[in-house]
Amino acid sequence: MELEELETLLANKIFSREVMKRYQEIEKKLINNEEVRRLSKEMNQALDAYNEVLRWYQSTSPICEEKKKILHEKKLALDSHPLVQEYLKVYNEANEPFVYLERNLLSRFRRKKKIC
Protein backbone atom coordinates (compact mmCIF):
# COMPACT_ATOMS: atom_id res chain seq x y z
CA MET A 1 0.00 0.00 0.00
CA GLU A 2 1.38 3.41 -0.98
CA LEU A 3 1.95 6.13 1.59
CA GLU A 4 -0.73 8.36 0.01
CA GLU A 5 -3.26 5.53 0.23
CA LEU A 6 -2.45 5.03 3.90
CA GLU A 7 -2.79 8.76 4.50
CA THR A 8 -6.22 8.81 2.83
CA LEU A 9 -7.37 5.74 4.74
CA LEU A 10 -6.24 7.16 8.07
CA ALA A 11 -7.78 10.59 7.38
CA ASN A 12 -11.08 9.00 6.37
CA LYS A 13 -11.10 6.87 9.54
CA ILE A 14 -10.33 9.81 11.80
CA PHE A 15 -12.66 12.37 10.22
CA SER A 16 -15.62 10.02 9.78
CA ARG A 17 -15.90 9.44 13.53
CA GLU A 18 -19.09 10.74 15.13
CA VAL A 19 -17.11 12.90 17.55
CA MET A 20 -15.61 14.82 14.60
CA LYS A 21 -19.10 15.63 13.35
CA ARG A 22 -20.08 16.84 16.84
CA TYR A 23 -16.88 18.87 17.02
CA GLN A 24 -17.65 20.64 13.75
CA GLU A 25 -21.24 21.36 14.84
CA ILE A 26 -20.17 22.78 18.20
CA GLU A 27 -17.40 24.81 16.58
CA LYS A 28 -19.97 26.45 14.28
CA LYS A 29 -22.22 27.23 17.25
CA LEU A 30 -19.27 28.66 19.14
CA ILE A 31 -18.21 30.92 16.27
CA ASN A 32 -21.76 32.19 15.76
CA ASN A 33 -22.59 32.73 19.43
CA GLU A 34 -22.73 36.45 20.25
CA GLU A 35 -22.09 35.99 23.95
CA VAL A 36 -19.00 33.83 23.38
CA ARG A 37 -17.67 36.33 20.85
CA ARG A 38 -18.22 39.16 23.34
CA LEU A 39 -16.50 37.24 26.14
CA SER A 40 -13.62 36.38 23.84
CA LYS A 41 -13.22 39.99 22.77
CA GLU A 42 -13.26 41.17 26.39
CA MET A 43 -10.63 38.59 27.33
CA ASN A 44 -8.40 39.63 24.42
CA GLN A 45 -8.75 43.29 25.38
CA ALA A 46 -7.81 42.44 28.97
CA LEU A 47 -4.81 40.49 27.69
CA ASP A 48 -3.71 43.43 25.56
CA ALA A 49 -4.09 45.79 28.53
CA TYR A 50 -2.08 43.46 30.75
CA ASN A 51 0.70 43.11 28.16
CA GLU A 52 0.79 46.88 27.72
CA VAL A 53 1.34 47.58 31.41
CA LEU A 54 3.99 44.84 31.52
CA ARG A 55 5.98 46.89 29.01
CA TRP A 56 6.29 49.70 31.55
CA TYR A 57 5.94 48.18 35.01
CA GLN A 58 7.24 45.18 36.89
CA SER A 59 4.86 42.26 37.08
CA THR A 60 4.56 42.69 40.84
CA SER A 61 3.44 46.31 40.62
CA PRO A 62 -0.12 47.14 41.75
CA ILE A 63 -1.24 48.14 38.26
CA CYS A 64 0.05 44.88 36.80
CA GLU A 65 -1.62 42.90 39.54
CA GLU A 66 -4.88 44.72 38.85
CA LYS A 67 -4.70 44.03 35.09
CA LYS A 68 -3.78 40.40 35.75
CA LYS A 69 -6.81 40.02 38.03
CA ILE A 70 -9.09 41.50 35.35
CA LEU A 71 -7.58 39.18 32.74
CA HIS A 72 -8.13 36.19 35.01
CA GLU A 73 -11.78 37.18 35.55
CA LYS A 74 -12.38 37.61 31.80
CA LYS A 75 -10.73 34.29 30.96
CA LEU A 76 -12.69 32.52 33.68
CA ALA A 77 -15.94 34.00 32.33
CA LEU A 78 -15.12 32.76 28.82
CA ASP A 79 -13.95 29.33 29.96
CA SER A 80 -17.03 28.90 32.16
CA HIS A 81 -19.52 29.49 29.34
CA PRO A 82 -21.47 26.23 28.76
CA LEU A 83 -20.79 26.23 25.02
CA VAL A 84 -17.05 26.69 25.59
CA GLN A 85 -17.12 23.88 28.16
CA GLU A 86 -18.85 21.59 25.68
CA TYR A 87 -16.43 22.60 22.92
CA LEU A 88 -13.36 21.83 25.05
CA LYS A 89 -14.75 18.44 26.05
CA VAL A 90 -15.49 17.43 22.47
CA TYR A 91 -12.22 18.96 21.24
CA ASN A 92 -10.21 16.79 23.62
CA GLU A 93 -12.10 13.70 22.53
CA ALA A 94 -11.72 14.55 18.84
CA ASN A 95 -8.01 15.24 19.31
CA GLU A 96 -7.25 11.81 20.83
CA PRO A 97 -6.17 10.13 17.56
CA PHE A 98 -3.76 12.97 16.83
CA VAL A 99 -2.24 12.75 20.31
CA TYR A 100 -1.93 8.99 19.87
CA LEU A 101 -0.16 9.42 16.52
CA GLU A 102 2.16 12.02 18.01
CA ARG A 103 3.11 9.87 20.98
CA ASN A 104 3.31 6.50 19.28
CA LEU A 105 4.35 7.15 15.71
CA LEU A 106 5.89 10.56 15.14
CA SER A 107 7.93 10.51 18.34
CA ARG A 108 9.95 7.59 16.95
CA PHE A 109 11.44 9.88 14.34
CA ARG A 110 12.59 12.65 16.62
CA ARG A 111 16.25 12.94 17.33
CA LYS A 112 17.13 12.26 20.91
CA LYS A 113 20.51 14.00 20.80
CA LYS A 114 22.15 16.44 18.50
CA ILE A 115 25.05 14.83 16.72
CA CYS A 116 26.50 17.92 15.06
Its domain, for residue 45, covers 20-96
- Domain assignment present for 38: yes
- Domain assignment present for 106: no
Q: Is the dihedral of CA 99, 104, 109, 112 positive or negative?
A: positive
- Domain assignment present for 101: no
- Domain assignment present for 88: yes
C-alpha to C-alpha distances, 58 to 4, 10, 18, 66, 73, nearest whole angstrom: 53, 50, 49, 12, 21
Q: What is the pTM of this model?
A: 0.74
- Total tally of structural domains belonging to the chain: 1
- Domain assignment present for 102: no
What is the pLDDT tens value at each position of the chain, 116 positions in all?
A: 788 888 888 888 888 889 989 999 999 999 999 999 999 999 999 999 999 999 999 999 999 999 999 999 999 999 999 999 999 999 999 888 888 888 887 777 776 656 55
Q: What is the pLDDT of residue 44?
A: 98
- Domain assignment present for 62: yes
- Domain assignment present for 14: no
- Domain assignment present for 47: yes
